[in-house]
Chains A and B, each alone.
Chain A
Amino acid sequence: MSVDKDTVRRIAKLARIALDEGRVEPMAQELNGIMDWVAQLNEVDVEDVAPMTSAVDHALRMREDAVTQGGAADALMANAPGGEDHFFVVPKVVE
């Protein structure tokens, strides 16, 4: 399977990482190298194997419904690069 330049542009867009046009081709080559190497997994018959999503085999623990967090808008905003009046601020989004 080969990762072409359009694919690199598409996934960079999905991942929201600006990729200069000059980096598209080298990135395609790097990804191809990695994906070719990964392709050895195709040797294995995994037909009847269940996918493993966690190394933990207990079920989800549930917490009780109580308000234990929040009410700390100042601490929440302390690291915000563009915060105003307890709002996070971004360039205008047109919906």
Chain B
Amino acid sequence: MSDLTSLTLAEARDAVRAKKVSSVDLTKAFLGAVEAARPLNAFITETPERALEMAAASDARIAKGEGGLLEGLPIAVKDLFCTKGVRTTAGSNILSNFVPPYESTVSQNLWDAGAVMLGKTNMDEFAMGSSNETSFYGPVFNPWRSRGSNANLVPGGSSGGSAAAVSGSLCLAAMGTDTGGSIRQPAAVTGTVGLKPTYGRCSRYGIVAFASSLDQAGPMTRTVRDAAILLRSAASVDPRDSTSVDVPVPDYEAVLDDGVKGLRVGIPKEYRIEGASPEIDALWADGVEWLKKQGAEIVDVSLPHTRYALPTYYIVAPAEASSNLARYDGVRFGHRAQGAHDITELYEKSRAEGFGKEVQRRILIGTYVLSSGYYDAYYIRAQKLRSLIAQDFTRAYEKCDVLLTPATPGPAFAVGEKSADPVAMYLNDVFTVTVNLAGLPALAVPAGLTADGLPLGLQIIGKAFDEATVLRAGRAIEVAAGFDAKPQQWWRAA
């Protein structure tokens, strides 16, 4: 085969199964791509030795006629998944030396299915960011550049490293996590597919927590089929996660091409917002046409509390984060400040040195909204808004099966462009965050290019635990859009 790194996960799976290519060869090809793409800074930790060991073991299993659903397939995981014996940083200085003595359930599920780990991908610190610029390990660059420009663009965030790695063909697929859009937003701006499953579908055990009631792991891939394949292996009910839900995991791939005939697709009018790029609106209209042509029934729906989702999120998520991140105190693991004279100084200095600016900001917001005298005004009010936002979806689903919306308000922006204004940065998640609050599954699928040649995505939102329908609708968009653009591999020349 000419270039193994251009294979999709499905193609590679079939080739490895058919013994047309060995896992070791496939892995070596991707390790080469990873090495060549270091200018992208997509990985925090590369694990080539482990990858080759795992690949060799896969080849041995395949030789014996054994092997799991992902046997021998090299993938990357966001550095938020704890990996036993492999440094896990969450993009933070405070965990720069942390080597977990345990494995996250999701990553374990993937290794159990035979997947090969290439390394741990870069990310916004503790998944707090929409551009991957808050990583202690430096920003990730989007493989895509505007036509005729050498300016570095952000890959979105917080799973920016995973998105860049998939988009730049550094791995067959990657795992990300999505708390407010952190899978779908980077997928959309890197021309890849990102699926946030229903809350409770994938175990949170062993994933460094950002906001426990919103965090959800999911696949980032080059095709919708690949997302279907990866989700099937990643998802499971887990007795170690009390919020994991016991719903059977279907073979998503089997129904992928069943089409959208008769599917009721809701178009929420509140997703037409001021400040979104006109190209986004045009693409959204295209999406409606594509689905209609394939036999879907288009219905107008209303999600009236949509505009309150982001401010609600920016109370709920920091509140949970302020508590979740209290364990990083320099006592049992992680960075410890030198020369502290007492325990309070040890805490304050370790955390000031260990956490970056955005993380500190969010911890302070969260501490503030939970503090005495503000709890009802902020936290409880936000929880009530969350109820209203979730109810909006329940009502909408009386009239439709899935929703079609834009994935982001615009394409990738330049590194540094939005870092000065936190609220402007937060607005990148305006279309994605509602879904996290309601706990629903949603898919970002690449659907077109801007005039400047940058990818844009559409979002399919589904009913709880109905990822199968979401993927089916996403597949219909993918087919109609015929999106096959790839970024120029400018980093190879760099």
B422 at interface, CB cutoff 8 A: yes
CA gap between A75 and B384 in the complex, in Å: 42
Q: Could you say which residues of chain B place their CB within 8 Å of the CB of A53?
A: 213, 383
Q: Are A51 and B387 in contact (CB under 8 A)?
A: yes
B343 at interface, CB cutoff 8 A: yes
A44 at interface, CB cutoff 8 A: yes
Q: Could you say which residues of chain A place their CB within 8 Å of the CB of B2?
A: none
CA gap between A44 and B380 in the complex, in Å: 13
Q: Could you say which residues of chain A place their CB within 8 Å of the CB of B349?
A: 18
Q: Could you say which residues of chain A place their CB within 8 Å of the CB of B335?
A: 81
Per-residue A-contact encoding for B317-341, CB less than 8 Å = 1, 0 else:
0000010001001111111100011
Q: Could you say which residues of chain A place their CB within 8 Å of the CB of B361?
A: 27, 30-31
Q: Are B342 and A54 in contact (CB under 8 A)?
A: no
**Of all chain B residues, which has the CB nearest A14?**
B367
**Of all chain A residues, which has the CB nearest B427?**
A37
A66 at interface, CB cutoff 8 A: no
A55 at interface, CB cutoff 8 A: yes
B381 at interface, CB cutoff 8 A: yes
B243 at interface, CB cutoff 8 A: yes
Q: Are B380 and A51 in contact (CB under 8 A)?
A: yes
Q: Are A81 and B336 in contact (CB under 8 A)?
A: yes
Within 8 A of A (CB), among B354-369: 355, 360-361, 363-365, 367-368
Q: Could you say which residues of chain A place their CB within 8 Å of the CB of B242?
A: 60-61
Q: Are B383 and A76 in contact (CB under 8 A)?
A: no
Q: Could you say which residues of chain A place their CB within 8 Å of the CB of B390?
A: 52, 55
B315 at interface, CB cutoff 8 A: yes
Q: Could you say which residues of chain B place their CB within 8 Å of the CB of A16?
A: 326, 329, 344, 347-348, 351
Within 8 A of A (CB), among B402-431: 421-423
B86 shortest CB reach to chain A, Å: 13
Given contacts A46-B384, A79-B334, contact A17 B371 (CB under 8 A): no
The SS class assigned to the A binding surface is: loop
Q: Could you say which residues of chain A place their CB within 8 Å of the CB of B438?
A: 55
Q: Are A44 and B199 in contact (CB under 8 A)?
A: no
A63 shortest CB reach to chain B, Å: 7
**Of all chain B residues, which has the CB nearest A79?**
B333
Q: Give the residue among A7, A44, A52, A75 with the most B Cβ atoms within 10 A.
A: A52
B259 at interface, CB cutoff 8 A: no
Given contacts A31-B361, A79-B99, A90-B343, contact A52 B383 (CB under 8 A): yes
B127 at interface, CB cutoff 8 A: no
A69 shortest CB reach to chain B, Å: 10
Q: Are A37 and B311 in contact (CB under 8 A)?
A: yes
A22 at interface, CB cutoff 8 A: no
A67 shortest CB reach to chain B, Å: 16
B385 at interface, CB cutoff 8 A: yes
Q: Which single member of A15, A42, A56, A72 contacts B363 (CB below 8 Å)?
A: A15
B483 at interface, CB cutoff 8 A: no
CA gap between A44 and B311 in the complex, in Å: 12
Q: Could you say which residues of chain A place their CB within 8 Å of the CB of B367?
A: 11, 14-15
A4 shortest CB reach to chain B, Å: 12
Given contacts A44-B388, A51-B383, A53-B383, contact A75 B351 (CB under 8 A): no
Per-residue A-contact encoding for B210-225, CB less than 8 Å = 1, 0 else:
0001100000000000
Q: Are A63 and B381 in contact (CB under 8 A)?
A: no
Q: Which single member of A3, A40, A88 contacts B368 (CB below 8 Å)?
A: A3
B239 at interface, CB cutoff 8 A: yes
Q: Could you say which residues of chain B place their CB within 8 Å of the CB of A11?
A: 364, 367-368, 371
Given contacts A12-B364, A51-B387, A91-B341, contact A80 B371 (CB under 8 A): no
Q: Which single member of B245, B308, B346, B377 contacts A44 (CB below 8 Å)?
A: B308
B382 at interface, CB cutoff 8 A: yes
Within 8 A of A (CB), among B435-450: 437-439
Given contacts A17-B363, A41-B382, A79-B334, contact A63 B239 (CB under 8 A): yes
Q: Are B101 and A78 in contact (CB under 8 A)?
A: yes
Binding site for A on B (CB under 8 A): 97-99, 101, 199-200, 213-214, 239, 242-243, 245, 305, 307-308, 311-312, 314-315, 322, 326, 329-336, 340-349, 351-352, 355, 360-361, 363-365, 367-368, 371, 377-378, 380-388, 390, 421-423, 437-439
The 6 tightest CB contacts between A and B, nearest first, are: A55-B439, A51-B383, A79-B333, A81-B336, A18-B348, A46-B384
